[in-house]
Amino acid sequence: MRRILLAIAVFCGVLPQVQAGDLQDILQIHADEVAKPSRRSVSVLLDDLVASGLPQVTVFLEEWAEKNVWRGPDGLFFLARADGDTLEIRDVDTGETVSIAKDGFLQIKPNGGVRRVIGTALVQFQLSDPDPARRKAALEAIARRPEASQLAPLQASVETETEDSLRARKVQLANFLSAQFGDTADVRIAAIESLSKDTSVEARSVLNRILSTKEGVTAGEADGNIARVLDPFVAPDAFYLRLVEAGLAPPVVTPAEIRAGLEQNVKDGRAGGVPLAQLDNDAQRGRAYIQLAAEGLVPPLVTAADRETALSEHIFYERYDEADPAITAAAETALASVTARVGWEQTIDLGLDALSLASIYFLAAIGLAITFGVMGVINMAHGEFIMMGAYTGYVVQLFVPDYTLSIMIALPLAFAVTFGAGVTMERLVIRHLYHRPLETLLATFGISIALQQLAKNIFGTQARPLTSPGWLDGAWVLSDAIQISYIRIAIFVLALLFLALILFILKRTRLGLEVRAVTQNPGMAASMGINPDRINMLTFGLGSGIAGIAGVAIGLYAKVTSEMGADYIVQSFMTVVVGGVGNVWGTLAGASMIGFLQKGIEWLNPSNTLAAQTYMILFIILFIQFRPKGIVALKGRAAAD
């Protein structure tokens, strides 16, 4: 009965202003604005909806913007979804749903401008919605399309916000909006000054919008908030074209236009008083054209002197869109501060990347440093031990689906597998080739090819996944410019653990003492009862085992293929040679130097990583010329040479 009376009242135009009631009541008061909305008329309806405070308004605005509002034959509005010839209609107040034939129902289709206005009003409701997801969506909408009307409701919602992260985001966005749309210059300047420590992309975007400029040209003094005066003689052709486009100078006549002008003004075998037979060069055509221009038959010819005079008589400038010089001055200062901070943060981020790369190279090279330092063996198959370790981790994950547990199992298992492979290789091949470096190089190179082919036969040529645990997903984000993935942090920590472990073994155990003795003077070590042959076998196995563990770590973020070892063998040898053969600290220094050098060169030439590696190799060759024993030279080795 109430709906019938409402319809009669609407028809008669005597319905009073509704102070409190259902959403349908408000919609009927503004039925025309709902059915045929425009950007001008819809604001009155939206003001009433906002003032009502009804919880169902949020859903209605969302559906209205998505064109899911329909009007029934009785003039009432419903939320509906079409399904063929039927509609699933839902009451705007109660939410009751019923299926009904589509006949007689009209879909309301607001245009893009109206939907933007609706979206602005919707944000006011979503900012205080009980659902945190809706509040977050409102903040994302504000960030995408900031408007002055959003500032007041955003500031009002800060006090009632219960989520710390959302409150911080609201404060940040309110600061952005205040900087652009604050009521007074003092409010805007205070907000702008607070942005001087915010290095986010959004903050820089806000400052750049405040400092947006338009180019202009004038014959007198430039007025307004001038950002800078431009020198037209740095690009005279381009600046003269701007004068032409502004109607302040005549266009330059091209050679083609000169020809056309002459052709159109031929009379009695002459053009501009010059016989046609003489118009065979630019000078004569120019003289004839000047004569025609003096008679007013063609546009005047613009000479270089004319252009220079025109440029010197005009002022070219860039004028801020913001009229207040105090605001733009504050924005310039804030942007300069932010730019300096971003530069430092990018330097720190580059340093973290270099440190991460250095830790990877250290893990890949430390095993080679031990074997190369003790035995002088050039092991070209070292990369394949890295590959074997990565494939060991992959196989473990096939049987252990828990990624954390599988990695914990894979690390010692990879060490055992590659330790055994290294010992086998040393016993069968290497020990017969001591002090024969060329034969050792060729033999280990052949073994590397054989191991690659064996891996292809077993695992195929496609890359295999070695999945990291969930707690290693993502990155540690300090700012928009500083972030590093958790996997790289884990590899860095693993490198530190290995550094400590190897130093402990070499400095605090009998095996380490014997290894150091054989490294410094194998002859003297043998005379003291140490078996160099056994030490060589264990050392080669230890270096191979460490390479296997490095393979598991590297495989967590790099592709696991049969050729993955080849990606690290060159860097491993460079790390060992640059750092100092047979020295753990030298390997660390070499890895750090190569990691930082490579990242630095890539930063200077980011579009060509191959060129960066080439420059790095050339630099290392020069470095070895001046320091052939590396950064940390091993003492006492010359006694055994």
Q: Is the pLDDT of residue 67 over 70?
A: yes
81 φ/ψ angles, rounded to the nearest 5 degrees: -125, 130
- Nearest CA to 223 out of 142, 323, 127 is that of 323
Q: Is the pLDDT of residue 21 over 80?
A: no
Predicted confidence band of residue 66 (pLDDT cuts 50, 70, 90): confident
348-362 average pLDDT score: 87
Q: Is the pLDDT of residue 372 over 80?
A: no
Q: What is the DSSP letter of 265?
A: T
For residues 314 and 45, which has the higher predicted lDDT (pLDDT)?
314
Q: Are the C-beta atoms of residues 338 and 330 closer than 8 Å to each other?
A: no
Q: Is the pLDDT of residue 414 over 90?
A: yes
237-291 pLDDT per residue, tens: 888 888 888 888 888 888 888 788 777 888 877 777 777 777 777 777 778 877 8
- Residue 374, pLDDT score: 63
528-575 pLDDT per residue, tens: 888 888 888 888 888 889 889 989 988 887 888 888 888 788 888 888
Exposure string of 454-471, with b = 16+ CB inside 10 Å and e = fewer, is ebeeebeeeebebbbbee
Helix 486-508 / helix 325-375 crossing angle, nearest 10 deg? 40
The single residue listed with the structure tokens 């014959």 is: 219
Q: What's the CA gap between 426 and 410, in Å, rounded?
A: 24
- Residue 582, pLDDT score: 65
For residues 453 and 474, which has the higher predicted lDDT (pLDDT)?
453
- Residue 393, pLDDT score: 92
14-38 average pLDDT score: 68
Q: Is the pLDDT of residue 15 over 80?
A: no
| Close Cβ partners of 437 (under 8 Å, ≥ 6 residues apart) | 376, 377, 378
Apex 406 CA angle, 405 and 412, nearest 5: 100
Predicted confidence band of residue 20 (pLDDT cuts 50, 70, 90): very low
Q: In 10 A of CB 593, how many CB atoms?
A: 23
Name, of 452-461, 513-522, 571-580, the range with top average pLDDT. 452-461
191-201 average pLDDT score: 88
491-495 average pLDDT score: 86
Identify the bridge partners of residue 91 per DSSP, sorted by sequence position: 78
Name, of 11-25, 60-74, 274-288, the range with top average pLDDT. 60-74
310-336 average pLDDT score: 91
Q: What's the CA gap between 17 and 578, in Å, rounded?
A: 85
Q: What's the CA gap between 412 and 419, in Å, rounded?
A: 10
Q: What's the CA gap between 297 and 251, in Å, rounded?
A: 16
How far is C-alpha 513 from the chain's CA centre?
Answer: 49
85-123 pLDDT per residue, tens: 788 888 888 888 888 888 888 888 888 888 877 777 777
Exposure string of 354-385, with b = 16+ CB inside 10 Å and e = fewer, is bbbbbbbbbbbbbbbbbbbbbbbbbbbbbbbb
- Nearest CA to 65 out of 125, 123, 114, 135 is that of 114
Predicted confidence band of residue 641 (pLDDT cuts 50, 70, 90): very low
The CB-based long-range contact list for 286-293 (8 Å cut-off, 24+ gap) reads: 286/258, 288/262, 289/253, 289/258, 289/261, 289/262, 292/261, 292/262, 292/265
Q: Which domains does the chain have, with CATH numbers?
A: 2-119 (no CATH), 127-212 (no CATH), 214-320 (no CATH), 345-640 (1.10.3470)
Q: What's the CA gap between 215 and 227, in Å, rounded?
A: 10
**pTM for this structure?**
0.67
| Close Cβ partners of 347 (under 8 Å, ≥ 6 residues apart) | none
375-396 pLDDT per residue, tens: 677 888 888 999 999 999 999 9
How far is C-alpha 52 from the chain's CA centre?
Answer: 44
